[in-house]
Structures are given as structure tokens and as C-alpha cells.
């Protein structure tokens, strides 16, 4: 139910007997919805590009991890997982600051600041003499990249809401998924013809193109009169308000659980296919096929979400996600790895479910807090990342001889997510959405 004015809001809350605080300015979203721009291909492509540069920084380096390890004299596969997991640590902490700052200074300046941080981090990684310096560079790179992901979500939430926001997010994510499909292959081509350092130079070049595109074509979506001054008090107030919405809290945790489970795969995929199956040359193509499954389902979600609703689709997909992982565990418990075709088929259907989960999870969590999209996106992203990184690091240590620990982790995270969603549905309270 949309509240179109403060007067109608007061009247409705009086009738329902519900007291809802408005600590932040909600007039912005009341007026914004009267002039919502129609989504267009360029907007979706630009938002997807902002989010895709995160995947580009991770996935193009996957084939080069052994070479990077050799350069900095690190030969432990468990240490190599830090090249991936630590960038997510930076993503978590970075958005905690960039989100609220975007509510004060606007969306565009924060994206520009992120580009500067990415450039500095890339130089640190290029000059890193050891593992410790490389990890510092990757964390800083994650901090810079967090501005892109957080602000893209805030811009989308500035412009859309509810199932329609979920639809836009699905199409953005579908474009975004194209990067993991081709990124490892691109990284391998660069590695075969040059060296791993050239991958970072490509990142910088593509980042410059994206910066020019964003600067020239994207308008500021946060009006000056509706900016919120960043302070510890306003941040704490925003966090306190988020706790009033059970769905926001639950789906923030669910996002962390599912992302953590997927991050296990992302950080250990090369180890599984290269060391356990001896298929280093085929790795980019296997990785692309599995990424394509996510892209296909994400696009499908965009066409179905208005009909079935983001809550129904995400619950069904999460339940299927858990069942697929449980089936693999039951079939291959205590056994060696199955044929690679069987593994890929299981992973394909496992990740197909993700396309109906990620975008919907974020949209459900953000729906009640559109009036503080920057702070909301920051807290949502920070909490989910802080949940996902320890999960990925812990499960990753068990991935030595078989892929079974991966599926055990997928099942546990999926099962807990289903339980949280059902518990939230059961205890859902009647609230007036502040949109």
C-alpha cells in the first residue's frame, strides 16, 4: 500500500492504530513515485556495468591465481582463496561508509571516489612483494568496488519499488552475470599472451571507460533538498529503524548465508576443477557454463516476478536450492568425487536457483526502507557480507580431496535460509511501508 502524502499517512495510521515513526524525510519518495522514469536499456546496462566491475575484478583473476601465488612466493591453495575472500571483506566495510555518504553528498560523487580507490588498490596489487601486501591491496580494491555495487542499488531503489524494482534488479543482474560467463576466459587469454599484471591494467582501462560513461549519461537521482547529513546518530537511527522490519532483517541474513555458500564455490572453483579433476584448461568454459545458468534464471525471474511475486519465487528457489545440495550429499557421502559431468549438472541446477534468489532477496529487504536507500543498502550489504566471508573461509578449509564439503555448506546455508523465511512469514506484522 503506497502512502501518497503525510496527511493520508496520518489518517491511515489513525484508522489502523499503528504508530510509525518517520525519522527521515519520506516526502522524497512520495513525490518521486509520481515521476518515475521508464526503464531503458542504457539505464539497465549502466547499472549492470557498475555492478559487473566487481565480478570482473574477481573472475578475470581466477585463472591467474597460481601465477600470482608464484610471484609473491605463496604456494598454499588455502592462502590463494584469500585473493577472493578478502575483496569481499573490503566490499562489506566499504559500503558501510559509501552508502550513508551517498545520502549526504549524492550518488555520483561517491562512485567517483570509488574509482579513485580502485586505481590506488590496483597499483598496490601490481607492486605487491608478498601475500600480506597483496591481501591489503585486494581489501582496498573491495572497498573501492563497494561504492559501485552499493550506489547502483541505491539508484535503482531511488527510481523503483516493490515487484517492479525486483524486475529491474533481475534484468540488471542478468546483464551482470554475463561478466562471470566470459571473465575467466578473458583472464586466461590475457595471461597466455602477456602476464597476470596485464589483467590489472585491463581493469583500469575498462574502469576509465565506465567512469566516462557514468559521468556523461547518468543523472543524479538524489535531489539536494532530500539529502540526509551523515552522522553516527543518523546511521544508528537508520540501523534502529531497519530492525523494525522483520523481513528486512531476515532477508539481510538470508542474503549473507546464500552469498557465503556461493563464495565457497567462487574461491575454490579453480582448486576443484584444476587440482581435484585436473582440468585447468577447461576451467574457464566450465565456469562460464555455470555462470550462464545463473544469468538464464535471473532473466527468467525478471519475466515472472510480476506474476508470481518476489516472495513466492524466492522461497520456492531457496527450498529447491537446499534439496539439490542435500541430494548430492546423500548420493556421494564418504565417496570420491563423481564424474565431472555429474558435478557440473548438480552445480548447474544449484546455481539456476540463485537467479530467483539474489535480486529478490535484496528487493524484499530494501522495500520498506526506500526513504533511506543509501544507509539501508550499506547496512544490508555490510551485514550480509560479514556473514558470508566467515562462512566461505571456514567451509573452504575442508575442501581438500572432494567437492562434498561445498554441497554440505550449500545445504546448511539453504536450510537455515528457508527456516528464516518461513519464520518471518509466520511472525509478519502489519506495518505501513514508508514509501
d(CA 22, CA 65): 49
Q: Is residue 332 part of a domain?
A: yes
163 vs 300, higher pLDDT:
300
pLDDT band at 13 (very low <50, low <70, confident <90, very high): very low
Q: With bands split at pLDDT 50, 70 and 90, how would you rate the model's confidence at 431?
A: very low
Measured from the Cβ of residue 232, the count of other Cβ atoms closer than 10 Å reads 8
What number of other Cβ atoms are within 10 A of residue 323's Cβ? 17
Give the distance, in angstroms, between the CA of residue 430 and the centroid of all CA atoms in the same chain.
Answer: 29
DSSP tally for the chain: helices H, then strands E:
18, 0
pLDDT in tens, 82-97: 888 899 889 888 988 8
pLDDT for 33:
44
Give the CA diameter of the chain: 70
Looking at every residue in the chain, the average pLDDT score rounds to 84
The whole-number average pLDDT for the span 25-45 is: 59
Name the residue range of residue 177's domain. Answer: 38-219+236-426
Dihedral angle over CA of 254, 46, 50, 264, nearest 10: 40
Instruction: With respect to residue 116, please indicate whether it lies within any of the assigned structural domains.
Output: yes
Buried-state track 155-170, b at ≥16 Cβ within 10 A, e below 16: bbbbbbbbbebbbbbb
pLDDT of 428 reads 62
Asked, for residue 182, whether it belongs to a domain, the answer is yes
C-alpha cell at 90: 573490503
pLDDT > 90: what percent of the chain? Answer: 44
pLDDT above 50: residue 1: no
Torsions phi, psi for 423 (to 5 deg): -65, -40
* CA 244/CA 357 separation, integer angstroms: 23
Total domains in the fold of the chain? 1
pLDDT recorded at residue 281: 85
C-alpha cell at 103: 545520502
Mean pLDDT is lowest, of 74-88, 102-116, 152-166, 203-217, for 152-166
CATH number at residue 276: 1.20.1250.20
Question: pLDDT digit string (tens) for 385-428?
Answer: 889 988 988 888 888 889 999 999 999 999 999 999 999 987 66
Query: How confident is the model over 56-73, as a mean pLDDT?
Result: 92
Of the candidate ranges 10-24, 62-76, 222-236, the one whose mean pLDDT is the lowest: 10-24
Element of type H or E holding 397: none
270 part of a folded domain: yes
CA atoms within 13 A on the CB side of 298: 24
Phi, psi of 312 (to 5 degrees): -65, -45
More confident residue, 17 or 98: 98
- Asked if the structure places residue 335 within a domain, the reply is yes
As a whole number of angstroms, the distance between CA 412 and CA 318 comes to: 12
In a domain, 372, yes or no: yes
The pLDDT tens digits for 67-78 are 999 999 998 877
pLDDT band at 207 (very low <50, low <70, confident <90, very high): very high
Average pLDDT over residues 251-273: 90
Q: Which residues of 249-273 are buried (b: 16+ CB within 10 A; e: fewer)?
A: bbbbbbbbbbbbbbbbbbbbbbbbb
CA 210 to centroid of chain Cα atoms: 19
| DSSP one-letter string for 303-364 | HHHHHH-HHHHHHHHHHHHHHHHHHHHHHHTTS----HHHHHHHHHHHHHHHTTTHHHHHHH
Is 11 within a domain? no
Pairwise pLDDT comparison (326 vs 283), residue with the higher score: 326
Q: For residue 430, what pLDDT is reported?
A: 43
Instruction: Report whether pLDDT(182) > 80.
Output: yes
Residue 179: which pLDDT band, with cuts at 50, 70 and 90? confident
How many Cα atoms sit within 13 Å of 292 on the Cβ side? 11
pLDDT tens track for 291-321: 888 888 888 888 898 889 999 999 999 999 9
Amino acid at each position: 500500500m503506497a502512502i501518497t502524502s503525510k496527511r493520508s499517512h496520518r489518517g491511515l495510521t489513525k484508522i489502523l492504530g499503528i504508530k510509525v515513526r518517520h525519522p527521515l524525510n519520506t516526502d522524497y519518495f512520495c513525490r518521486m513515485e509520481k515521476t518515475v522514469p521508464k526503464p531503458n536499456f542504457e539505464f539497465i546496462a549502466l547499472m549492470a556495468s557498475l555492478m559487473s566491475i566487481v565480478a570482473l575484478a574477481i573472475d578475470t583473476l581466477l585463472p591467474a591465481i597460481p601465477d600470482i601465488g608464484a610471484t609473491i612466493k605463496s604456494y598454499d591453495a588455502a592462502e590463494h582463496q584469500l585473493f577472493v575472500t578478502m575483496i569481499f571483506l573490503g566490499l562489506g566495510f566499504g559500503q558501510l561508509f559509501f552508502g550513508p555518504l551517498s545520502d549526504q553528498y549524492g550518488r555520483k560523487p561517491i562512485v567517483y571516489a570509488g574509482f579513485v580507490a580502485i586505481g590506488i588498490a590496483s597499483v598496490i596489487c601490481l607492486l605487491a612483494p608478498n601475500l600480506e601486501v597483496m591481501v591489503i591491496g585486494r581489501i582496498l580494491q573491495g572497498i573501492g568496488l563497494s561504492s559501485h555495487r552499493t550506489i547502483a542499488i541505491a539508484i535503482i531503489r531511488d527510481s523503483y519499488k516493490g515487484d517492479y524494482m525486483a524486475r529491474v534488479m533481475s534484468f540488471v543482474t542478468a546483464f551482470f552475470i554475463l561478466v562471470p560467463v566470459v571473465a575467466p576466459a578473458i583472464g586466461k587469454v590475457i595471461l597466455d599472451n602477456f602476464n597476470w599484471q596485464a589483467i590489472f591494467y585491463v581493469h583500469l582501462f575498462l574502469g576509465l571507460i565506465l567512469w566516462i560513461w557514468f559521468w556523461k549519461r547518468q543523472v543524479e537521482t538524489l535531489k539536494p533538498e532530500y539529502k540526509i547529513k551523515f552522522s553516527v546518530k543518523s546511521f544508528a537511527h537508520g540501523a534502529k529503524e531497519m530492525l523494525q522490519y522483520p523481513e528486512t532483517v531476515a532477508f539481510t541474513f538470508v542474503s549473507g548465508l546464500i552469498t557465503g555458500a556461493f563464495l565457497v564455490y567462487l574461491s575454490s572453483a579453480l582448486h576443484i576443477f584444476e587440482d581435484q579433476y585436473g582440468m585447468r584448461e577447461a576451467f574457464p568454459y566450465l565456469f562460464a557454463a555455470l555462470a550462464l545458468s545463473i544469468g538464464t534464471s535471473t532473466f527468467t525471474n525478471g519475466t515472472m516476478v510480476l506474476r508470481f511475486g518476489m516472495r513466492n519465487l524466492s522461497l520456492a528457489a531457496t527450498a529447491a536450492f537446499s534439496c539439490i545440495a542435500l541430494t548430492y550429499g546423500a548420493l556421494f557421502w564418504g565417496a570420491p568425487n563423481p564424474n565431472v559431468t555429474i558435478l557440473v549438472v548438480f552445480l548447474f541446477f544449484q546455481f539456476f536457483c540463485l537467479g530467483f534468489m539474489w535480486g529478490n532477496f535484496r528487493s524484499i529487504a530494501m522495500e520498506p526502507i526506500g526513504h533511506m536507500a543509501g544507509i539501508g543498502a550499506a547496512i544490508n550489504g555490510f551485514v550480509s557480507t560479514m556473514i558470508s566471508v566467515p562462512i566461505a573461509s571456514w567451509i573452504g578449509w575442508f575442501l581438500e580431496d572432494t567437492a562434498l564439503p561445498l554441497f554440505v555448506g550449500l545445504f546448511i546455508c539453504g536450510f537455515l535460509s528457508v527456516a528464516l523465511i518461513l519464520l518471518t512469514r509466520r511472525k509478519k506484522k502489519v506495518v505501513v511501508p514508508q514509501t
